[in-house]
């Protein structure tokens, strides 16, 4: 039986509350391990010599916690217990922080920096293991982004805004100023047609974002995910991602979303209570989400339906760039009602 990847650990996670990281996000300081961090790495590197059934890979030491993937050969150690291993690790590693302290350094803590907490996830899936390894690999960058832009990573529960229907339980995370754009437009692309058949709608949505408009979308169907992929590659694009579930109190954005948050390019918005689970995705919630996207963007959207025919009905006349807007924050681009942004229609839900 080949070794089975079974556990990813995060002892000492954030028990003392948020702390500034590494001299205000200085990348050079971030790379500096303290003696306690060196000792933690040495303990993990020597694990296989002490127990040939165990290998600790993907090791990343943070200021107050550590991440690693533990690969277990159960043929060699059939009685291995992940939780017992986690407790042993926490007892044997140094009790000080792993990387350099903030600058200026804080007052000496009254309790050990490593907290009596850990996170363990058993993984027998290659896809899940790849996701865990990606999370660990990018954890230092995510920590720096959060330290440099803490306001963009705050989960705003009970969020209120003039554009949002107060009858719903709104929550948000990201750049809240995106809701102030007068150029919001909904994007909904069907999953019933191949992505390549919707190329015109995809390109149109990305081009409008490049000109300064703000697409609002769930980014759920393959074609919508292609839109988001291209938006990430377009340096001037900004977008609002509506989700068909609640935003949990410990919302942990992906690496890609974290980068977009730090750059001030994305807002994640939910109209559902936080207890509505992320998975499985509910068809009913997707329908509600899509209806609320329409209400958010308002009646200015001109429909372009990609699910009923093979082509697009482009708006006429073409939309002027947002730079031509006049008349204050509520003004539409010059050119009259024909210059309003289109609506990318979708008749299917996930």
**C-alpha R_g of the chain:** 24
Helix (H, G, I), strand (E, B) or coil at 263: coil
Q: Can you give the pLDDT at residue 329?
A: 34
The whole-number pLDDT of residue 120 equals: 78
335 Ramachandran zone, left/alpha/beta (phi>0; psi -120 to 50): left
Q: Report the alpha-carbon distance of residue 330 to residue 28 in Å, rounded.
A: 45
CATH number of 4-148: 3.30.70
**C-alpha–C-alpha distance, residues 62 and 113, integer Å:** 11
Could you tell me the mean pLDDT of each successive run of 10 residues in the chain, 350 residues long? 44 32 37 78 92 92 84 92 87 67 41 61 81 83 81 92 94 94 92 93 94 94 96 95 93 88 95 92 92 84 48 39 36 32 34
Question: How far is it, in rounded angstroms, from Cα 302 to Cα 339?
Answer: 9
Bond prior to 119 in cis (omega within 30° of 0):
no
pTM of the model: 0.66
Identify the H or E element spanning 143.
Answer: helix 139-148
| Domain 152-345 CATH assignment equals 3.40.50 | yes
Question: Cβ(191)–Cβ(307) under 8 Å?
Answer: no
Handedness of CA 314, 318, 322, 327 (dihedral sign): negative
pLDDT at 61: 84
In this predicted structure, what is the pLDDT of residue 299? Answer: 66
Return the SS3 of 156.
Answer: strand
Distance in angstroms (rounded) separating the CA atoms of residues 85 and 50: 13
Under the phi-then-psi rule, with left for phi > 0, alpha for psi from -120 to 50, and beta for the rest, what region is 239?
Answer: beta
Residues of the chain with CATH 3.30.70: 4-148
pLDDT for the residue numbered 179: 94
> Which residue ranges does the chain devote to CATH 3.40.50?
152-345
C-alpha 346/C-alpha 150 separation (Å) is 36
- Comparing CA positions, the residue from 270, 281, 274, 268 lying closest to residue 349 is 281
- Phi then psi dihedrals of residue 3, to 5 deg: -55, 140
* pLDDT for the residue numbered 302: 55
Percent of the chain as helix, strand, coil, to the nearest 5: 35, 15, 50
pLDDT for residue 98 = 55
């Amino acid at each position: 039986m080949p070794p089975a990847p079974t556990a990813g650990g995060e002892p000492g996670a954030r028990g003392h509350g948020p702390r500034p990281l590494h001299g205000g996000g200085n990348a050079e300081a971030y790379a500096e391990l303290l003696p306690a961090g060196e000792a933690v790495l040495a303990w993990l590197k020597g694990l296989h010599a002490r127990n040939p059934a165990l290998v600790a890979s993907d090791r990343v030491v943070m200021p107050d916690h550590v991440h690693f993937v533990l690969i277990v050969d159960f043929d060699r150690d059939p009685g291995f217990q992940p939780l017992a291993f986690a407790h042993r690790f926490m007892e044997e590693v140094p009790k000080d922080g792993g990387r350099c302290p903030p600058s200026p350094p804080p007052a000496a803590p009254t309790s050990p920096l490593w907290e009596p907490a850990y996170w363990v996830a058993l993984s027998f899936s290659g896809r899940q293991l790849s996701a865990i390894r990606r999370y660990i690999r990018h954890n230092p960058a995510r920590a720096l982004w959060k330290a440099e832009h803490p306001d963009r990573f705050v989960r705003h529960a009970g969020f209120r805004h003039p554009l949002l229907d107060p009858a719903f339980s709104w929550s948000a995370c990201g750049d809240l100023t995106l809701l102030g754009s007068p150029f919001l437009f909904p994007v909904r692309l069907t999953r019933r047609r191949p992505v390549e058949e919707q190329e015109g709608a995809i390109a149109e949505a990305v081009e409008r974002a490049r000109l300064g408009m703000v697409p609002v979308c769930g980014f759920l169907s393959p074609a919508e995910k292609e839109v988001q992929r291209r938006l990430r590659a377009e340096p001037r694009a900004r977008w609002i991602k509506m989700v068909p579930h609640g935003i949990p109190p410990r919302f942990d954005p992906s690496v890609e979303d974290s980068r977009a948050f730090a750059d001030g390019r994305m807002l994640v918005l939910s109209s559902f209570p936080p207890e509505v689970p992320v998975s499985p995705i509910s068809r009913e919630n997707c329908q509600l989400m899509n209806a609320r996207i329409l209400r958010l963007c308002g009646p200015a959207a001109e429909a372009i339906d990609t699910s009923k025919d093979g082509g697009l009905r482009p708006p006429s006349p073409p939309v002027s760039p947002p730079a031509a807007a006049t008349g204050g924050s509520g003004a539409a681009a010059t050119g009259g009602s024909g210059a309003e942004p289109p609506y990318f229609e979708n008749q299917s839900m996930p």
